[in-house]
Amino acid sequence: MISKNLFIIFALLFFSTSAAFAGNGNTDTKVKAKGVYSYDKREGKPKIYIEGIRLDMDYMLRNMRFVDFVNDPAVADVHIIINSRISGSGGQVYSLMYNNKTFENLSDFTITATTASSDTYEEQRKKITDALTLGLMPFVNQTEASNNLVIRYRSKDVAAEDFAVDDPWNHWTFRGDVSGSIDIEESREIYNYYFNARADKVTEDWRYRNSARRSVRTKNYTNEGEEYSSNNTSNYFTSSVVKSLSSRWSTGLFASYSNSNYSNIWYSISVKPAIEYNIFPWDISDRKVFTIAYYIGPEWKKYYEETIYDKLQESLWEQTLRLDLQIVQTWGEIEAGLNASNYMHDWSKNRITFDSDLSVRIIRGLSVRFGFRIENVHDQIYLPKGEVSLEDILLNKVQLPSTFEVGADFGVRIQFGSIYNNIVNNRL
């Protein structure tokens, strides 16, 4: 009987000891029971990599010492991508996308930060940095850096009704910009000035946009006593109203007016209804967008000079199909668009444009960027009749006929060395 009891005791000791050694690994991550995690903190600070928009990194380095900033996304614990969109009030809405790379018990998520059009640069960078800080707290909490954090809440209790806002402008915002440049030499003078104005209203269901632009470019040249001048003037006004029908469908009405002596257009007026479908819901438009839009409507044109089709004015119908793709991921970004339009009276008068911008991280420390644009042009119905003088060509006075346009750009970035970027030093 004693030997039997001893056998049972030794068996219990053996199994309990084996279980203890099995649970005494070098890592402190997840144990076998689903949803149960270790209470131990990871050593050091979270390593983060940020990209997307231009940021004041000096300010962030001074105010976010609870993380390690790294130069290479391949070694980051958290990869943050920041995009921005213009809000209805003229400010910016920043989408901060947190992509978890190494923390097993945390998932990816997105938060937003909003700045007002009246915010100073100091206020803007503080709001972005504060939002970044709040979003990083779940990751910091998994490391020993959380032991040195102190969180304070500075506010008085405010009743909910105190947050009601009286908006005398009813969501309308207005903006105007004037800019210019002067370049003077002994035998050459160049004057440029631009004027832009906007009036917008944005709500959850409606979006109203109105914009106007005027551009004047004047060039004067003197050569052997002869004077030459070029004066290109253009005006453009557009107005649109768009209604959100669902999470993917939208419809709208677009009207425009344009004038350009460079393109021989006294005026061009168009009114086009449109409909648009987004393959993805609009609430994730900061990460991916794939839209299909169709426009159709009349145009009325009048020209400075008789065109190559013997017209001084005409009325036309035009239709346009537009596809847009935007994808933002930790490996890079893709933007591509395909635009096809034609005049209904003659389908041979058409234009097809493809433009793309691709940025890809190949391997650690190596990324490439490639941009490409090509146009198949057969809709230059506004070109003036007659020969174009050499003087007009050299002075860039008029638009020349062309059946295509091609443009491309390419870039490579190589980086190696220390992965850390935590030190601020602005000395000489």
pLDDT band at 423 (very low <50, low <70, confident <90, very high): low
E strands present in 330-365? 332-343, 346-363
How far apart CA 150 and CA 66 sit, in angstroms, is: 11
- Tens digits of per-residue pLDDT, 143-189? 888 888 887 777 665 554 455 556 678 878 888 989 999 999 988 89
Q: Is the pLDDT of residue 389 over 90?
A: no
* Mean pLDDT estimate for the chain: 82
Higher pLDDT, 319 or 147: 319
pLDDT surpassing 60 at residue 105: yes
Please give the structure tokens belonging to residue 86.
């213009």
Place of tokens 């790379």: 101
Total-model pTM: 0.65
| Interval 62-93: pLDDT, tens | 888 889 888 778 888 999 988 888 776 677 88
Question: What one-letter code names the amino acid at 49?
Answer: Y
Length of the chain: 428
pLDDT at 267: 96
Per-residue CA distances from 119 to 112, 116, 310 (Å): 17, 5, 54
Residue whose entry in the numeric block shows the structure tokens 């400075």 = 304
In tens, the pLDDT along 189-236 reads 999 999 999 998 888 788 899 999 999 999 998 888 888 888 999 999
H/E element, 208 = strand 206-223
Alpha-carbon span 245 to 235, nearest angstrom: 33
* Residue at token pair 């850390």: 420
C-alpha to C-alpha distances, 114 to 62, 122, 130, 295, 319, nearest whole angstrom: 22, 14, 11, 32, 37
Q: Domains of the chain (ranges plus CATH)?
A: 47-148 (3.30.160), 245-414 (2.40.160)
Task: Provide, rounded to the nearest whole percent, the portion of the chain with pLDDT above 90.
Answer: 38
For residue 417, pLDDT beyond 70: no
Distances (CA, A) of 204 to 111, 201, 409: 19, 10, 38
Nearest CA to 54 among 34, 93, 82, 32?
82
